[in-house]
Structure 1
Amino acid sequence: MSKLRSNLKIRLFVWVLVISIITGGISAQLTLFLSRGVDVAENQAILFGAGIGLVLSILGSLLIQLILRQPIKAIEKATQTAREVANGNFDVDFEEAKRGDEVDQLMHELEVMVVHIRKQATQMGSSSDKLTASAQEIAAAVHEGNASGESIRTAMAELSTKMNENVDQAYLSMDALGTVKRTMDEVAKEMNEALKSATVMQTEAENGKTLATDSVEAMHMISSKMEQSATLNGRLTDMTGEISRITDVISDISAQTNLLSLNASIEAARAGEAGRGFAVVAAEVKKLAEQTATSAKEITDLISGVKRLVNDTANAMTDVQKEVATGVGLVEQAGSSFEEIHHSTEHVYSRVKSVDQLVVKSDKEIDQVGLTTANILAMVEEASKHAEQVLQASSHQAASLSEVNGAMEELVAVAEQLQEETGATRL
């Protein structure tokens, strides 16, 4: 614009100078001509020349005005167009260049500028719309982030409280595990003693089983011996019966002998002196018969006593056999009981051993649980510290989001204002 103005000033100065030179020359020539050819006073000639110069100046001015009329109109048109553009109206028309001078070049440059500004304004309007939408979305996101941050801060505060409670619970769990550990150690000691007692009981049960087996065998042996004794006692009874029969025969023989000796004594008495010796023999025979009868009676009495003893022995042996049979049954029952006891002790020993192994395993697992709980406690404490740090960071973030929210509200206001301004522009 300044260059155009300078060019116009130079052209105007040149035109004025040219016209002045022309009018001055014409005026001087006319004055000289009049002063030579016409008998006029010098002063009148000068006045006439001045008048002619004035007329020529006026005509030159009119000529200059006619020459500069079109550029001035073009400049006024350009000024009006620039004013419209300055007021935000980019919907202006430009005439096609005809002269090809600086004014046409100015209008062409102004048209290029308006087209460029219109394009930039269109892009700016689209960008302002996008900026407004983005700013509103960001503001909404910041608002949601602020609300989420508040929720996170509240959740982290609750989490921090819960973590502290978990730390307390973990310490209580550690104390409880310590108590359980001590109890399990005592149980392990008791189970060790129970295992020893079960081992002793199993050994004693095995010994009792062996003794019961030996007792059963001994009772069967006694029963066998008692049966043999009963058999021998029966044979003894038969033999005493045989002896009793023999003693009966001897008693009969002694009675007959006594009767014969009595008859012999009678016959010897009848014989007189001749039968005296025979009477002595008969008396001796009678005496022997009487002694034999006495001995036979004694033997019979002894045999009767032996029979009674044998019968008593047989009865006693029968009772003993019954008792032995009962004893065998009891011993066999005791053996079965000892067998059951042995199985039970083996089962008890197995169960006690299993419980002891479980106690040992549980003790190890409790140690592992204690170690794991300690690790968890350390992790919970570390998490609690991180939760507190996150809570502090959430508080700082909430403050930052509040500041960002305020800035975004200002940005939204600016974007809406820019959108209104670009919307007011006519393209």
Structure 2
Amino acid sequence: MKYSVRKKLWTGFLSLVVLMIVAGIMNYLTIPDISDRYKSLIDERLEKVILLEQLSTNQNMLSNELRGYLLYKQVYYLKDRRELLESFDAKVQELDATLQSEDSRALLDELKDASEQYRSLTESAVASFTNAQDEEALKYAEEAEPFQTLITKNATKLIEIQREQVQKAESELEHRLQSTAIFILGVLALITILSVIIAYVISKIITRPVGKMTDALKQLAQGDFAMEPLHIKNRDEIGEMATAFNEMTSDLRGIIMNTRDSSHQLAAQAEQLTASSEESLAASEMVAGIAEKNLLASDMQVTLVNDASRAMGEMAIGITQITNDNEMMLASTDAVSRLVGEGADLMKDVSDQMSSISSSIQQSADIITDLSIHSENIRNVTGLITGIAEQTNLLALNAAIEAARAGEQGKGFAVVANEVRNLAEQSKTSAEEIGRMIDAIIQNVSLAVDSTEAGTDRVKEGLKITERTNKVFTEIELASNDVSNKVQTVSTAIEQIRTMSEQVTEGSEKVQELAIQASAEAQSTSAATEEQLASNEEIAASAQTLSEVAEKLQNDMGRFTV
């Protein structure tokens, strides 16, 4: 099966284009997965943690308002109760729609039941207190306290579960980033290796036989026709060119050998003609015989020169065919250069896509940093709450001391002071717990920032490898230009052979003219014996000219080695 140079070049560079397209598609398919994982981590996991913290805060505010109302008997403390309840229900519904694991849903259902019980008991406490049934109201409040604790406990557990899921998602995302980076580096390395191998193989397939052809043509240009036939097994234009070259060399070798023999014969005939003309001056009776011999020799020379002219015409046709094939090879090398340029443009597009990925990862890092700043602000607020709780605790302690001094009359006030101190302790504990949660969030955000920066570094490494691949394409383009230059050298050598063949043809035509002239002169010697002297002089002059032409032809043939 014939496999032309054009097909080889197309196959090689289309293979590189296919490899680059496959690598680009694989890289493109990994981007949405990483983006979705980042979105899930930021928009879903952290959002659930925030909802649960807000839910716990709403519940604590409801509890604080109820205590304030029962302690100070001011309706002012209940003014935000309805909004807090609605906010609490909305957050519970949102969590109910987003939580998926069985453990989380079980805790949420338990929290919802406890919330309903707590709400029912606190409503009863408010109604009893409004109707001046203080003891019954306090009883309802004490019964609601365990449900308050259960709600807070379940909310804390749900927050811990979500944090564990956040850590797990971060670990999976980091592993995914590492796998993606390794995969991209592996694909780029594979493409680079395959590109070098394909370029090396194609260059060897093309340049090795072309080099042999170039060396052989240089030998022909120097007149050396004794070379061995070219052994090129390529089943393409170069192989056909080598076959045609061997045939042309063989034909030229035969033509040159025939022409050289003819030149020797021509020189011998010229010498013989000169001797005959001298003898004819001494013996006229030998004129007819010598003229007959000259006539036969001239006919033979005409025949040989005609054969040489036909052979040179065939050689000119072969040289024209080689020139056409060489022009087709030049066109193929131009197509190769164009494909290399297109491959370099595709690698540039891959580099631009990697830069876009780096920008997206940097934006995610900025968002996580802003989240860290907001968490720090929340921690400052919890510190302020802790300070207020400590002051409240101190005031409640002072109030208890004053109530103890008041004796029996201060017992009720002592109970209230003790309750206030308990509330202050709970507020302090809750604030400290929130502070620890914020610290954990800040730590996790820092880890996420570090992971994002690591991903950015890996993308930068991918950009560097892409630049090295572009350099490989540049080297391939230089190799293609080198092939084109060598083909141009072949064209120059072919042109030199054509010029030499034209010179040989011109010499053959001159020899043919001289041979015809000698034949005519030989025939004229038999016209009349009285013109024998004049004819012999003309023959001697013609023999001298023929000898010079034969000598010139021998010198020309001496340039060639067969």
TM-score (norm: length of structure 1): 0.42
Tell me: higher relative CO, structure 1 or 2? Use CA pairs within 8 A at least 6 residues apart.
1
Structure with greater Cα Rg:
1
**TM-score using structure 2 length:** 0.34
